[in-house]
Structure 1
Amino acid sequence: MYSTIIKESVVSSSAHSFQALVRLLRYAKGYRRRITAATLCSIINKLFDIAPEILIGVAIDVVVNQERSFVARLGFDTPQEQIMMLAVLTFFIWAGESLFEYLYQVLWRNLAQRLQADMRQDAYEHAQRLDMAFFESRSSGQLVATMNDDVNQLERFLDGGANSLIQVVVTVVAVGAVFFVLSPLIALLAFTPIPLIIWGAFYFQRKAGPLYSDVREKVGDLAGRLSNNLSGIATIKSFTSEAREAERLRESSEAYVEANRRAIRVSSAFIPVIRMAILAGFLATFTVGGMMALRGDLNVGAYGVLVFLTQRLLWPLTGLAQVIDLFERAMASTKRILDLLEVPITIKDNTDTPLAMPVRGEVSFDSVSFRYASSGAGVEDVSLTVPAGHTLALVGATGSGKSTLMKLLLRFYDPSHGQVRIDGQPIDSVGLNSLRQSIGLVSQDVYLFEGSIRDNIAYGKPDADDAAILDAARTAEAWEFIQVLPQGLDTAVGERGVRLSGGQRQRLSLARALLKDPPILVLDEATSAVDNETEAAIQRSLKRIAHDRTVIMIAHRLSTIVEADEIVVIDQGRVAERGTHTELLAENGHYAAQWRVQTGRAQAEDVEALSG
C-alpha cells in the first residue's frame, strides 16, 4: 500500500522537476565521467561515515563478551588486542572518510563551476543567434536573471544538494542492509516510518514546486525593473520620479519576498512533521530491541549498533527538506535555462557561402513583404534597387517601414515574400557573417560599450592599429574632440557612452562603421538627435566616404539627403514616391509638402496632409 502511495505521489508531484532533471542530464552528457567520479566519492564517503557506529557496537560487544566477542573469532584473543585492532581500524575509517569528503567536495564543486559556466556561455551564445523578434518580446531583465540567477541556483544544488541526495540513498540502503543482517524484525519496525517520510517529502515537493517557479518569475521581474530604472536614470531624475520608481521597485521586491514567503512556509513545515515519524521508528528500535537484548535474543553489541544506526537511518531523511528545497529551486531554474536554449532560431545561418568578392554593393529589394507579428506593421510589395556606389535615401512618417527594410537587409528578420539581394545574390543563401561584415550600420540609438574610445572605434576590427583608428576618427570628424580629452583615445566612455555627449557618441559610431570599411553603409536616422554643428560634420564626412560605397540613408531631416542619387518616400509600408530631390519637388507630393514644412514655407494644407 505504502509503495503504491509513494509511486503515485512521485508520478503526480515530481513530473515537471524530474523532466527538468532528465533534460539537464541529457545536456550534461559531456560531464558523465566527472558526475560518475563525484558520485562514487560521495558513496564511499558515506559508507565510511556510518562505519564508526558499527564499530561502537562491536566495541560494546568486546567489553561485554571479551574472549567470546565477534572480534575474537577473527584471531584477536585478548580484549586488549581487540580494542587496539578496533582503534587502528577506526583511524583508517576516519582517514578514509576525510579523504573522500575532500575528493567529493572538490569534484562536485568543480563540476558545479564548470557546468554553470558552460551553461551560461551556451545560453548567451544561443541568445545571440536568436532573431530580433525574440528580444523585442522579452525583458532584458528576465534574460539576465535566467543567465545569472537561474544558473547560480543550479550551481548551489550541485555544490551541496546533489551529494546530500546521493548520501541519503546510500544511508538507507547500507544501514538497511546492516539492520536486516542483525535483526529482520527490528529492521521492519525501523523502516516503517520511511514510506511516510518519503511520501511527505514528495507531498511537500509537489506543493513547493509551483511556488519556486513563481519565485524565479518574480526575481526576473525584479531584475528587469532594476535594469530598466538604472538605464533610464536620467529620465527618472528629469521627471522627478524617484519616489514613484522607488515605490514601484518596492512593489516588485515585496512580490519577490511574498513569493519566497509562500515557498518557505511550505518547505519549513516538513521537518516538524517528519520528526514525529522518526521518533516512532527510534522508539520501536529502542524498546523492542531493548526487550530482545534483555531476553538474550539479541546481542548487546548488536543492540547498540541498531540504536545508533536508527538515527543514522532516519535522521538524514529530514535533510530531504533542504535537499528538495535546493532541488526544486534548481529544477525550476534549469527549466528556464533549457527553455531558453531550446528557443528555435528562425534566422538560420545554415551556410558558409560568402558573398562573391569583391562586394560591389548593389542592393535590391524584389517584391519584399514583411509584417511584425505583434503590431501588424511592416512593408508590402516593396521593390527597390540601389546601384553599387550610389546613395539611396528613405523618407517617410514614423512607422512607415523605413527601418524595417534595413532590418531585412541585415537579416534581423526574413521577408515573408520576395527576396533581398546583394550583387544579385539572395542574402539568405550566404553566411550571416559574410553578409553583416559587408554592411556598416550607424543608427539613431548609438550603443557604446563600456571601455575606451579606442576600444569602441575598433569594435568592428579589433586588430586595427592606431593609424587606422585615427584615420577613421578624422574621417568621422571625431578626432577634434578626442584629442582635447585628457586621455585621448584611452578615455573611458562609461556605460552606454554616458560620459560623452550625443553628438560625440554619434561621431564615434560613424568612425566605428568606417573603420570596418564596409562596401554598404546604412545610416538609420544618424543625424536626427544631433545639433546643427554635428550634423554638418557628419554631412562633410558622408561626402568623403560615399565615393565607391553604397550608402542607404534613413532620414527625417530632408536637408541631409538633398544630394542623394535617389530618394524614396515610404508610406504605410509601400513605395509612394521616388526620384531625385528636384524631381520630387516638381511632383508636389508628400516629399514636397514635407520639404516646405521643414524649410518654413509650408502652407496650411501641407501641415494638414502630413499630420493626417
Structure 2
Amino acid sequence: MSRADEAISSFRALGRLIRYARGYRRRIIAAASCSVVNKLFDIAPEILIGIAIDVVVNQENSFVARLGFQSPQEQITILAVLTFFIWAGESIFEYLYMILWRNLAQRLQADMRLDAYTHVQSLDMAFFEARSSGDLVAVMNDDINQLERFLDGGANDLIQVFVTIVAVGAVFFVLSPLIALLAFTPIPIIVWGAFYFQKRAAPLYNEVRQKVGALGSRLSNNLGGMATIKSFTAELREAERLRVDSEAYVQANRRAIAVSSAFIPIIRMAILAGFLATFVIGGMMTLRGELNVGAYGVLVFLTQRLLWPLTGLAQTIDLFERAMASTRRILDLLAVQRQVHDEGTRTLPQPARGEVLFDQVSFRYPESGAGVEQISLQADAGNTLALVGATGSGKSTLIKLLLRYYSPGAGRLLIDGIPVEELSMHSLRQAIGLVSQDVFLFEGSIRDNIAYGRPDADDAAIVEAARAAEAWEFIERLPNGLDTPVGERGVRLSGGQRQRLSLARALLKDPPILVLDEATSAVDNETEAAIQRSLRKIAHGRTIIMIAHRLSTIVHADRIAVIDQGRLREQGTHRELIEQDGLYAAQWRVQTGAVSEGASAVAD
C-alpha cells in the first residue's frame, strides 16, 4: 500500500471513529479548543520578548508606546503583566487539555471495549468457531489501548503542530514575507525526513515486535509446561532457548535504535539551516533598517518554535496511523452482523413440559459441508433421548441447532409444540441446561460457579443442587467448602470434580430440558457411576438428551437414536436396537465383547 493509500485509509478510519464518537463531540471540541488556546499562549512569550527588545531599543518610539504607554518603565511593566497572564493562561489550558484528552481517552476506550464485548457476546457461535479467541482479545484489549494512547497525547500533538505552523506562519508573513519563505524552506525536508525514517524504522520495529512476541510465547509455554520441563530435567536446555530468544530481541532492538537515533541529529541540521537563514538575513535587514529590531527578535525566537515541534511529527503520525489501523479493526468487529436473529416474542408456558421435536431438520456447515440431513426425532416430555454415533456424525450439531447457535437450512425444531425461532432466545435457553464434555468453570469460588445460572440462589438451594450432582461430599471435605477458589478454568479441581460442579450448575438452573453432551466421556468409573446415580434421581419430570460414546451409560434411555454421517439410521430402546443387529449392536459388541444374544440378556 502506498503512502497516499495509507493516508486515505487512515482518514477514512478517522471519519468512522468520529461518527462512532458522536456522543463525545462536546468533549472532543472542548479538548481540541484547549489545545489550540494553549499553543497560542505558548507562542506568545517569544513575541513578547521581541516587543521587549523593541521597548529597550526604541523606548518612546516603540510599538508599545504607540498604544499609549509613553515611558519605557510603563511599557516594561505592561509587558511583565502580560507575560504573567500569558504564562498563567498557558498553564491553565495545558492542565485543561491534559485532563480533557486523558479523561476522553479513558471514557472512550472503556465504552468502546464494553460495546465491542457486548456486541461480540451477542454474535452467533459460528463467529467464535471461525475467529480465534486470541485475535478477539487483541482487538478488544491491544487495539483499544492503541487508540487510547493516541487520544492521550497524539491527538493534542497533531493539533498543536498544525496551530504552530498556521500561527507562526501568519506572524512571519506579517513581519517579513522573505524571511517567512526562508524559515519555511526546511519544513518539506523535515517532513520528508520524518516519513523516510519512519519507513526505515517500521520494518525494524516490526521485527522487534515479532521477537518480543516469540519471547513472550516462549515464557508462556515454558511456565505452562513447567511440570513437563522438570520431569524431563530440561531446565538448562529451556534456559538456553530463552537466552537465544532474549538475545534475538536485544539485537533487533539494537538495529531499530541505530536508525531511530539518527533521526533527531539529522533533522536538527535542517532546523539549523532555517534558523541561520533567519538569523543572518534578518540581521542584515535589521542593520540596513529594513526590519525593526524587535521584529527581528520575534523572528529569531519563533524560527525554532516553528521547526522544532516537527521533529516529533514522524512519531505522532506513526501513532496516528497505528490508532487508525486499530480503529478499523475495532469498528469492523462492531460491524459484524448476526446470522441467527433473536426475533422471537413468545415464551414457553410455565411449567414447560420439555417435549423436543426435530422435524425433517437439515443443516450444513458452510466451511466443511458436514452437518445433518432430514433428521426427524422426538424426545417426549420427561423421557430420556440418547444420541449415539461416531465422532463427526452430527450429534452435537443437533444440540447446537436446539440451542439456536445455528439456524437449520430446512425443517423445524419445536419445544412443546412451539417453533424455536418464535421463542425469545432468553426463554429458549432458560429452558435448557447444558453439561458438556469440556467443562468451563469461571475463576471464583465453588459457590459462584454453581450459582452461575441463578446468582440470587441461597446456600440451601446451592447445597441441594450439589447433593443432587453428588458433588457435596467432596465440597464438604475442602477447607473452605463452597468458598473454595476453583482457579482459572477450574484448574484446582480434578476432572471429575469439575464435571460434577457443571452438573450441579445445570441442576440449580432447574431447566425442563437437560442436555448432556458426552458429560461422562472424560471421567473415571467412580465419577461416571456417581453421575449416573444423579441422573436417575433428577430424570423424573425432566426431559434429558444425552450424547454418549459409552453405550453402557445409556442402556436405560427411553429412546436411543443412532446418527451416522448426518442421517438418522436407527432408533429404539437398547433392547430393540440389539435385536435389530445393526450399527448400534455392532458398536455394543465392540465395547462389551458380547454377542447379540448375550447383550440382550444384559439389557434385560
Choose which of 547, 567, 571 in structure 1 pairs with 2:564. Answer: 571
Match for 2:113: what amino acid? R
Is 1:87 matched with 2:80? yes
Report the equivalent of 2:117. 124
Match for 1:83: what amino acid? I
Task: Compute the displacement of 1:518 (Å).
Answer: 0.8
Report the equivalent of 1:610. none
Report the equivalent of 2:57. 64
Choose which of 157, 167, 174 in structure 1 pairs with 2:167. Answer: 174
Residues 331-346 of structure 1 mapped to structure 2, 5 A cutoff: 331-346=324-339
Choose which of 133, 136, 140 in structure 2 pairs with 1:140. Answer: 133
Report the equivalent of 1:183. 176
Is 1:45 matched with 2:63? no
Report the equivalent of 2:14. 21
CA–CA separation in structure 1 for the residues paired with 2:219 and 2:412: 41
Are the aligned partners of 2:211 and 2:252 in contact in 1 as well (CA < 8 Å)? Answer: yes
Task: Compute the displacement of 1:377 (Å).
Answer: 2.4
Instruction: Give the match's secondary structure for 1:369.
Output: strand
Are the aligned partners of 1:370 and 1:416 in contact in 2 as well (CA < 8 Å)? Answer: yes
Report the equivalent of 2:458. 465
Task: Compute the displacement of 1:351 (Å).
Answer: 4.1
Instruction: Give the match's secondary structure for 2:462.
Output: helix
Are the aligned partners of 1:142 and 1:223 in contact in 2 as well (CA < 8 Å)? Answer: no
Is 1:559 matched with 2:558? no
Match for 1:302: what amino acid? A
Instruction: Give the match's secondary structure for 1:403.
Output: helix
CA–CA separation in structure 2 for the residues paired with 1:377 and 1:93: 73
CA–CA separation in structure 2 for the residues paired with 1:130 and 1:538: 33
CA–CA separation in structure 2 for the residues paired with 1:374 and 1:257: 42
- Percent identical among aligned pairs is 78
Task: Compute the displacement of 1:424 (Å).
Answer: 2.3
Report the equivalent of 1:550. 543
Question: After the TM superposition, which of the residue ranges 348-357 and 23-32 deviates more from structure 2?
Answer: 348-357
Residues 210-249 of structure 1 mapped to structure 2, 5 A cutoff: none
CA–CA separation in structure 2 for the residues paired with 1:482 and 1:144: 33
Is 1:511 matched with 2:473? no
- Residues 158 and 68 of structure 1, relative CA distance in 2, 3 Å threshold: same
Instruction: Give the match's secondary structure for 2:477.
Output: coil
Report the equivalent of 2:158. 165
Match for 1:416: what amino acid? G
Report the equivalent of 2:524. 531
Task: Compute the displacement of 1:345 (Å).
Answer: 2.0
CA–CA separation in structure 2 for the residues paired with 1:249 and 1:128: 37
Choose which of 301, 310, 317 in structure 1 pairs with 2:303. Answer: 310
CA deviation map 1:42-74 (0-9, x unaligned)? 111111111110010011111111111111112
- Residues 442 and 115 of structure 1, relative CA distance in 2, 3 Å threshold: same
CA–CA separation in structure 1 for the residues paired with 2:513 and 2:367: 30
Residues 394-405 of structure 1 mapped to structure 2, 5 A cutoff: 394-405=387-398
- Residues 231 and 434 of structure 1, relative CA distance in 2, 3 Å threshold: farther
Choose which of 377, 380, 387 in structure 2 pairs with 1:384. Answer: 377
Residues 183-582 of structure 1 mapped to structure 2, 5 A cutoff: 183-201=176-194, 270-582=263-575
Instruction: Give the match's secondary structure for 1:553.
Output: strand
Aligned pair count reads 597
CA–CA separation in structure 1 for the residues paired with 2:252 and 2:345: 48
- Residues 156 and 93 of structure 1, relative CA distance in 2, 3 Å threshold: same
Question: After the TM superposition, which of the residue ranges 186-195 and 163-172 deviates more from structure 2?
Answer: 186-195
Unaligned 5+ runs, structure 1: 1-7, 607-612
Are the aligned partners of 1:393 and 1:553 in contact in 2 as well (CA < 8 Å)? Answer: yes
Are the aligned partners of 1:62 and 1:82 in contact in 2 as well (CA < 8 Å)? Answer: yes
Are the aligned partners of 2:104 and 2:151 in contact in 1 as well (CA < 8 Å)? Answer: yes
Match for 1:338: what amino acid? L
- Residues 35 and 72 of structure 1, relative CA distance in 2, 3 Å threshold: same
Q: TM-score, normalised by structure 1?
A: 0.90
Are the aligned partners of 2:375 and 2:567 in contact in 1 as well (CA < 8 Å)? Answer: yes
CA–CA separation in structure 1 for the residues paired with 2:171 and 2:468: 83
Are the aligned partners of 1:475 and 1:541 in contact in 2 as well (CA < 8 Å)? Answer: yes
Task: Compute the displacement of 1:593 (Å).
Answer: 1.7
CA–CA separation in structure 2 for the residues paired with 1:123 and 1:265: 39
CA–CA separation in structure 1 for the residues paired with 2:476 and 2:425: 36
Match for 2:591: what amino acid? Q
- Residues 37 and 242 of structure 1, relative CA distance in 2, 3 Å threshold: farther
Match for 2:379: what amino acid? V
CA–CA separation in structure 1 for the residues paired with 2:246 and 2:335: 29
Question: After the TM superposition, which of the residue ranges 439-448 and 530-539 deviates more from structure 2?
Answer: 530-539
Question: After the TM superposition, which of the residue ranges 293-302 and 364-373 deviates more from structure 2?
Answer: 364-373
CA–CA separation in structure 1 for the residues paired with 2:341 and 2:201: 39
CA–CA separation in structure 2 for the residues paired with 1:354 and 1:229: 50
Task: Compute the displacement of 1:119 (Å).
Answer: 1.3
Question: After the TM superposition, which of the residue ranges 302-311 and 63-72 deviates more from structure 2?
Answer: 63-72
CA–CA separation in structure 2 for the residues paired with 1:252 and 1:32: 46
Report the equivalent of 1:5. none
Are the aligned partners of 2:360 and 2:412 in contact in 1 as well (CA < 8 Å)? Answer: yes
Are the aligned partners of 2:271 and 2:308 in contact in 1 as well (CA < 8 Å)? Answer: yes
CA deviation map 1:369-421 (0-9, x unaligned)? 22233333222221111122111000111111111111111112222222222
- Residues 201 and 159 of structure 1, relative CA distance in 2, 3 Å threshold: same
CA–CA separation in structure 2 for the residues paired with 1:259 and 1:418: 58
CA–CA separation in structure 2 for the residues paired with 1:25 and 1:67: 53
Task: Compute the displacement of 1:444 (Å).
Answer: 0.8
- Residues 12 and 486 of structure 1, relative CA distance in 2, 3 Å threshold: closer
CA–CA separation in structure 1 for the residues paired with 2:583 and 2:241: 44
Instruction: Give the match's secondary structure for 1:471.
Output: helix
CA–CA separation in structure 2 for the residues paired with 1:410 and 1:429: 13
CA–CA separation in structure 2 for the residues paired with 1:420 and 1:236: 50
Are the aligned partners of 2:356 and 2:380 in contact in 1 as well (CA < 8 Å)? Answer: yes
Report the equivalent of 2:144. 151
CA–CA separation in structure 2 for the residues paired with 1:226 and 1:124: 28
Are the aligned partners of 1:190 and 1:285 in contact in 2 as well (CA < 8 Å)? Answer: yes
Match for 2:363: what amino acid? F
- Residues 343 and 538 of structure 1, relative CA distance in 2, 3 Å threshold: same
Report the equivalent of 2:28. 35
Are the aligned partners of 1:363 and 1:422 in contact in 2 as well (CA < 8 Å)? Answer: yes
CA deviation map 1:129-151 (0-9, x unaligned)? 22223222322222222221221
Task: Compute the displacement of 1:335 (Å).
Answer: 2.1
Match for 1:539: what amino acid? Q
Question: After the TM superposition, which of the residue ranges 109-118 and 184-193 deviates more from structure 2?
Answer: 184-193
CA–CA separation in structure 1 for the residues paired with 2:225 and 2:510: 33
Report the equivalent of 1:4. none
Instruction: Give the match's secondary structure for 2:95.
Output: helix
Unaligned 5+ runs, structure 2: 600-604
Task: Compute the displacement of 1:290 (Å).
Answer: 0.8
CA–CA separation in structure 2 for the residues paired with 1:574 and 1:236: 46
Match for 1:16: what amino acid? S
Are the aligned partners of 2:195 and 2:314 in contact in 1 as well (CA < 8 Å)? Answer: no
Instruction: Give the match's secondary structure for 2:53.
Output: helix
